Structure formats: structure tokens, C-alpha cells
Amino acid sequence: MLDVLGLDATEEGAYRRLVALPSASAEDLASAMTLSVSALATALSALESKGLVARSTGQRDHFVASPPSLALGSLIVEREEEIRRAQLELGRLTEQYRGSVADRTGTDVVDVVRGPQAVADRFAQMQRGATSEVVALVKSSVAIVSAEENSASEDVALARGVAYRVVLERAAFERPGFMERVIESVAAGETVRVADSLPLRLMIADRSLALLPLAPTASDVGGGALLVHESGLLDALLHLFDLVWASSNEVLPSGAFQPSDQIDEVDARILTLLLAGLTDQAIGGQLGMSLRTIQRRVSSLMDRARVVTRFQLGHEAARRGWAGR
């Protein structure tokens, strides 16, 4: 946790132990932390230079911890000052960038990002820099950055209050366990919808910058992406997303349907997946059940709801109180 203040793991561990002790030597700490004495001596020297520890006046080979509110507080102030200077520099660079954007030609609105690592970096950077919303179209086949690999960046952005709207291609749900990850994302605050098929992979941050991952080709085996700045092309991509979003089925929160005296937990899960637009085959794959079992349970639900279509089933389930919201 204290790595943000410039402490490595050994330094942090040594400081935490000293905070709880009157004093200790490098040998004492090395024994307690099962590390070499030389490693602890190096860590204590670094902590001393940072003002976090001092040598004991009673025993020169012993160290005492400086008060956390004083020692760590000063480090925090230093970091805040560094961040303030970085923000000022960001403002200056942003103004320079805006000036260069104004001089862009028609072909300059698109940058080419080459290589899987560079694309992954852009994905993370766009989400870390987003301030209001991230929207995305996610195809079933993984181009360069998988949903699992991208989850950390999403979690950080969601924690900052960035809204996420994501459309998933239905075929993605054929992967075992995929629905569980989707439910976790919805619980974390994402709004997720499902479409039969998607024309492309796409992510747009704050409606001002888009990234289109490209599949590897014979001439570019590493793959890449297009980074699209504000332009008519970006407007078209935004319009495309809005059209796809409007015609997709929403994945309801995990508690949208609740077990009751009329439906059990399995039926509740089936209703959630059914209204997301999944096929019986995909539902069976996500729940670890056979196609025949899913079909039988769906048919039973329709009989109990006295409906003849699955569309009617969703509305009737909500009317009967099977929906938890």
C-alpha cells in the first residue's frame, strides 16, 4: 500500500514492524521477516534517508520508527506537490496538443497503433484517462486484448465513477464461465447488453477518442489498432454504437429474478439469461446443463406463466413478481 510513497516491499515491511516495537536491530527484523541481514540493512538505510526511521539513542545498532503522521505525512505532501506540478504540465501540453489538432489534415485524425502490447497500453490509457463514460462493442473472438485482461482497467475506472456501456456479441457466451464474469461486471456498475452479431470491435472514451482493434494480417502478424480523434469519422462510430445499443438486449443484474415459491434458483438464472437473448444451447453451457433440460425448464416456465412466446414470458415474469426489481 505504501508503494505509492516510494517504499518497496521490504522497506514497508520493516517500517510496519518498527511502528509496533520500541526499537529493533537489522538482525531482529531480518529474523522476524525471514530475510537476509544485508537486505534489511539496505532497507533501513533507505528508510533513514526518507526520514521514516532513526537510530536509537540508547542502542546505536537499533532503529526506531518516526511517527507515521509526521513521516508519512511529509511524503504525502511531497507526492501531492509532484502531482500538482504534473497537472500544470498536463495543462500546458494539452493546450499545445489542441493547437496541433487544429492544424491536422483529414488524414491526421487517425493514428495507427502497431503491436499487441501497444494496443493493450492504449486500452488501459484511455480507460485511466476517461472522466465520464466508456462505451464498447466486444466481439466473441479475441483480437488482442481479452475481457479478462482488460478487467483491471475497467475496475479502476468504475471506482472513479466512470460509466460503462458495453455490447457483447452473443457467441461470446458459448465460452464456459463467461456469464459469471458478465454478472460480476454488471454488479460492479457496468450496463451490459447482448447483440446477435457486431460489425467491429470498438471502444470510445468520453465520446472524444475511439480505438478500433484490428485482427492480425499476413503483412502485420502482430496486429494493431486505429486511434480515431474527434472528426466526422468518430461521429459515425458514435452513431454506430448508439444504433447497436438501442437494438440490443440488456443483461439484468444477478438479483433481477429471485427464487420464490413459484420458481427456484435455477429458473431465476435461466430467466436472466433468457432475457439477455441467449440461446438454449448457450444457457445450458453457462449453467452446466444439457440442452434438453434447459428446453424442458423453459417450457415449464411458459406453462406456469400461461404464455406462448419467450418475449411474453419476460413480461409475465415481472408481472407475477418473479422479478426482484
- Write out the E strands in the chain: 24-25, 53-55, 62-65, 110-114, 133-138, 163-169, 191-195, 202-205, 209-214, 224-228, 249-250
Task: Give me 33's grid cell.
Answer: 521477516
What's the CATH code, domain 265-320? Answer: 1.10.10.10
Q: CA 194 to CA 183: how far, in whole Å?
A: 13
* Among the four given CATH numbers 1.10.3210.10, 1.10.760.10, 3.30.870.10, 3.40.50.300, the one describing domain 110-250: 3.30.870.10
* CATH for 1-105, options being 3.90.320.10, 1.10.10.10, 3.40.1710.10, 2.40.30.10: 1.10.10.10
* Average pLDDT of the residues in 24-37: 86
Tens digits of residue pLDDT in 33-64: 888 888 888 988 888 888 888 887 777 788 88
Q: How confident is the model at residue 84 (pLDDT cuts 50, 70, 90)?
A: confident
Intrachain domains 1-105 and 265-320 with the same fold: yes
- pLDDT digit string, tens, across residues 202-250: 999 999 999 988 765 545 455 688 888 888 889 999 999 999 999 887 7
**Angle (deg, nearest 10), helices 178-188 and 280-287:** 90
* Band (103; pLDDT cuts 50, 70, 90): low
For the chain, what is the largest distance between any 2 Cα atoms, rounded to a whole number of angstroms?
86
What is the chain's mean pLDDT, rounded? 79
User: Per-domain residue ranges for the chain?
Assistant: 1-105, 110-250, 265-320
Radius of gyration of the chain (CA): 27
Return the higher-pLDDT residue of 174 and 31: 31
pTM: 0.57
Of residues 178, 171, 174, the one with CA closest to residue 139: 171
